[in-house]
Structure 1
Amino acid sequence: MDSRTIALIRTTFKAVAAEDGGSERLSRSFYSILFTDYPGVRDYFPAAMDSQRDRLVGAISYALDRLEEPDKLLPFLAQLGRDHRKYGVQPSHYVAVANSLKSALQQFAGTEMWSDEVAMAWDEGLATISGAMISAAEKETTPACWTARVLERREILRNLSIVRIKLDQPMEYAAGQYVSVQIPARPRMWRYLSPANPANEHGEIEFHVRSVMGGWVSPAMVAHTQVGDQWLVGSPLGGLGVPRNAKRKMLMIACGTGIAPLRAQLMSMAQRRVNPKVHLFVGGHHPCDLYDLAVLNQLAEANKWLTVTPVSEHDDNPWWYFDDGGPKPDLSSLEPRMTGQIGKVVASYGSWADRDVQIVGSPSMVQTTKFRLMAAGTQAKSIRHDPLF
């Protein structure tokens, strides 16, 4: 696509989505048109559409921001294409989505902004996106999704559980990637989870799952998962990871269950002979939220290239946390715990100009931490995180 085509696409989308409530109106209109004009497509979507609508606009924005960077956009689209096989998506469905999105955009853009040239620009852009996804799906030889059996569920906190599953066949994923998961109690409601361990020949994956208040899926995962439950797992997604030939030092920052993909990477790196130095900051609201420190201590003790600094926003645990008074884990290989907002704490160390940076956590945590690091002198190109949608 040339620069004018890209400019027309971005200008139209931002004009429609940037208005107050524009993103929600666009997504609602899109799905209304899609389900009216192509009623058979409705069966591919969950009954509750709130999360789906939010992700739609986020995914579109992410793709449009990278139209001039095919080396970043095309691998992302290829991953999405492989992942969408789990829905049973066919090429005709991409046509339905493209037509419905164009109709929704035209509805809100109005006659002054929408022209034949704009329509042709969107045709080209959507053809590029759908073509990359279809091509990747057609070339893929791995399963559309994996079946898995729950081997273990451990309650760590009242709103956090560790779930271990065994896939029907091993999955080749890179440490740091994430996958979509569907549980029996919530059909057609897929949620993204990050493996906390590297891929292995046994096909076993450990997930750290926190219950999100008001969520449809995570509370059921945390409270009602039973040994023997059958889960479905989609193709791996995401681009976090540390190449084997990496020479630059690493800065890793995680909050809550965001430690899972970083811990998987550290475990993978521990199997190598040579690694760059890594400084990991792991944070939470309260000390009890730093639930994985014992494992991180073992990693730091065995790998001198790893430094781990725990951070909590408060020094005291919440009223509901029960300390059974049992023996405390050995944390002697960790740095002393610091108190404060994790982005502010990390930025107080300086610019980290010699580091490649990975940040994992909630969208607000990632954005806040990223801005604080950039204000301290970290270059934006050195900071990586997964898409925030």
Structure 2
Amino acid sequence: MDSQTIALIRTTFKAVAAEDDGPERLARSFYAILFTDYPQVRDFFPAALDAQRDRLVKAIGYAVDRLEEPEALLPFLAQLGRDHRKYGITGEHYVAVSKSLHTALKAFAGTELWTDDVDKAWAEAIGLISDTMVEAADRETTPPIWTGTVVEHREVLRNLAIVRLQLDQPMAYAAGQYLSVQIPSRPRMWRYMSPATPASPNGEIEFHVRGVTGGWVSPAMVGHTRIGDKWQFGSALGGLGVPRNTRRKLLMIACGTGIAPLRAQLMAMTQRRSNPMTHLFVGGHFPCDLYDLEMLSRMAMVNRWLTVTPVVENDENPWWYFGSGESPDGFPNIEPLRIGQIGKVVADYGPWADRDVQIVGSPSMVQTTKFRLMAAGTPAEHIRHDPLF
């Protein structure tokens, strides 16, 4: 794809995103066209489309930003194609989605902005996205869906639970990746979640779930999951991970349940003969949010390459917390507790220019931390995080 084509695509998409409610109106228009022209595809989508609409526009934006980076974009699209097999969609469904998206963009942009050249540019981009996803799905030989049975559900906070499942068959995924997950009480409402443990040959898998206020799925996972429930999973996605034999030091930063993919990577690293020096900052709003410090303390005790620094924004727990009250400073092999916003705390240590950096947390936390690190001198190309959708 040449530079002129990419420029036309980006100019159009920025014009859409810049308008008030532009991304939301584009998504609404797309789904209205799709369901009107191809009513048979409606059953593939949940009744409530709020999360789906937001995810669609963010995915398009993510692809548009990486049109000049095929080495990053194409593997991402291939992963999406493998994951989308869980819906049972075929090539004709991709055609329906592609045509509907093209029509929605054209209608939204208007005749002044949507020239023949813009039309051709978007046709090429949408074709690239669709073809890459279809080809990857067609080549894949693993199951489109894995099923797991809940064998443990433990609420560690009022709005946070640890859920362990036994898969019907082992799943191969790299520590640090994430999966789309569907629970029985919320059919067709798939949510992305990162396993907190590496892939197990016995098929065991664990998730750390925080209930999002007003959310459709996560509160049900925390408050209504029962032993014996059957969850379903799509193919693994994401590019976080620590290559074997890497010599570059690591900086890992997580807030809340964002510790899960970093925890899984650290557990996998403990099985290797040698590892680079790794500094993990784990944060939360309150001390009780640092629910996994005991595990991290044990890990740091036997792995001298690992340093763990806890960070909280408030040094006292909320009124509703009636836990043990153990201070984060009470764990051995853990650095002294730091008070403050985690991005600022980490950036205050220095530029971290000699580190490969991973950041996991909410979209706002990831962006804020990334900008603070860059301002402190951390090269942007050394910072990694998963797509923020």
TM-score, normalised with respect to structure 2: 0.98
- Post-superposition CA distance 1:64-98 (Å, at most 9, x none): 11111100000000000000000011111111111
Q: Give the Å deviation of 1:327.
A: 11
Aligned to 1:262: 262
Q: Give the Å deviation of 1:174.
A: 0.3
Matched-pair contact (CA < 8 Å) for 2:293–2:328: no
Secondary structure at 2:199 match in 1:
coil
Identify which range, 16-25 or 268-277, moves more after superposition.
16-25
Aligned to 1:34: 34
Is the aligned partner of 1:113 residue 2:120?
no
AA matched with 1:224 = H
Q: Give the Å deviation of 1:17.
A: 2.1
Aligned to 1:19: 19
Q: Give the Å deviation of 1:245.
A: 1.8
Structure 1 pair 206–23 and aligned structure 2 pair: CA distance change class (3 A)? same
Aligned to 2:60: 60
Matches within 5 A, 1:364-379: 364-379=364-379
Distance 1:237 1:78 in 2: 9
Distance 2:85 2:21 in 1: 32
Distance 2:125 2:347 in 1: 39
Which 4+ runs in 1 deviate beyond 2 A?
323-330
Secondary structure at 1:250 match in 2:
strand
Matched-pair contact (CA < 8 Å) for 2:240–2:384: yes
Secondary structure at 2:308 match in 1:
strand
Question: Matched residues, percent identical?
Answer: 73
Matched-pair contact (CA < 8 Å) for 1:360–1:366: yes
Distance 1:150 1:328 in 2: 30
Structure 1 pair 49–327 and aligned structure 2 pair: CA distance change class (3 A)? closer
Aligned to 1:382: 382
Secondary structure at 1:317 match in 2:
coil
Q: Give the Å deviation of 1:323.
A: 2.7
Matched-pair contact (CA < 8 Å) for 2:328–2:337: no
Secondary structure at 1:260 match in 2:
helix
AA matched with 2:159 = N
Structure 1 pair 133–114 and aligned structure 2 pair: CA distance change class (3 A)? same
Matched-pair contact (CA < 8 Å) for 2:329–2:336: no
Matched-pair contact (CA < 8 Å) for 1:300–1:333: yes
Is the aligned partner of 1:285 residue 2:256?
no
Aligned-pair Cα RMSD in Å:
1.3
Distance 2:379 2:326 in 1: 45
Aligned to 1:209: 209
Matched-pair contact (CA < 8 Å) for 1:294–1:330: no
Distance 2:330 2:270 in 1: 20
Aligned to 1:162: 162
Secondary structure at 1:238 match in 2:
coil
Matched-pair contact (CA < 8 Å) for 1:66–1:72: yes
Matches within 5 A, 1:94-243: 94-243=94-243
5+ residue gaps, structure 1: none
Matched-pair contact (CA < 8 Å) for 2:287–2:328: no
Q: How many residues align?
A: 389
Distance 2:149 2:214 in 1: 26
Distance 2:202 2:10 in 1: 45
Structure 1 pair 375–327 and aligned structure 2 pair: CA distance change class (3 A)? closer
Aligned to 1:298: 298
Q: Give the Å deviation of 1:116.
A: 1.9
Aligned to 1:274: 274
AA matched with 1:117 = D
Secondary structure at 2:131 match in 1:
helix
TM-score, normalised with respect to structure 1: 0.98
Q: Give the Å deviation of 1:136.
A: 0.4
Distance 2:323 2:243 in 1: 40
Distance 2:128 2:13 in 1: 16
5+ residue gaps, structure 2: none
AA matched with 1:19 = E
Is the aligned partner of 1:80 residue 2:80?
yes
Q: Give the Å deviation of 1:120.
A: 1.3
Distance 1:207 1:220 in 2: 14
Secondary structure at 2:205 match in 1:
strand
- Post-superposition CA distance 1:131-187 (Å, at most 9, x none): 110010000010001011001000100000000011111011000000010000000
Matched-pair contact (CA < 8 Å) for 1:308–1:334: yes
Secondary structure at 2:301 match in 1:
helix
Distance 1:337 1:214 in 2: 31
Distance 2:374 2:330 in 1: 35
Distance 1:39 1:333 in 2: 59
Matched-pair contact (CA < 8 Å) for 1:281–1:310: yes
Distance 1:325 1:249 in 2: 34
- Post-superposition CA distance 1:214-267 (Å, at most 9, x none): 000000000000000011011100000000021100000000000000000000
Structure 1 pair 301–90 and aligned structure 2 pair: CA distance change class (3 A)? same
Q: Give the Å deviation of 1:123.
A: 1.1
Identify which range, 88-97 or 312-321, moves more after superposition.
88-97
Matched-pair contact (CA < 8 Å) for 2:282–2:308: yes
AA matched with 1:169 = Q
Distance 1:214 1:327 in 2: 30
AA matched with 1:164 = R
Aligned to 1:307: 307
Secondary structure at 1:299 match in 2:
helix
Distance 1:80 1:18 in 2: 27
Aligned to 1:250: 250
Matched-pair contact (CA < 8 Å) for 1:297–1:330: no
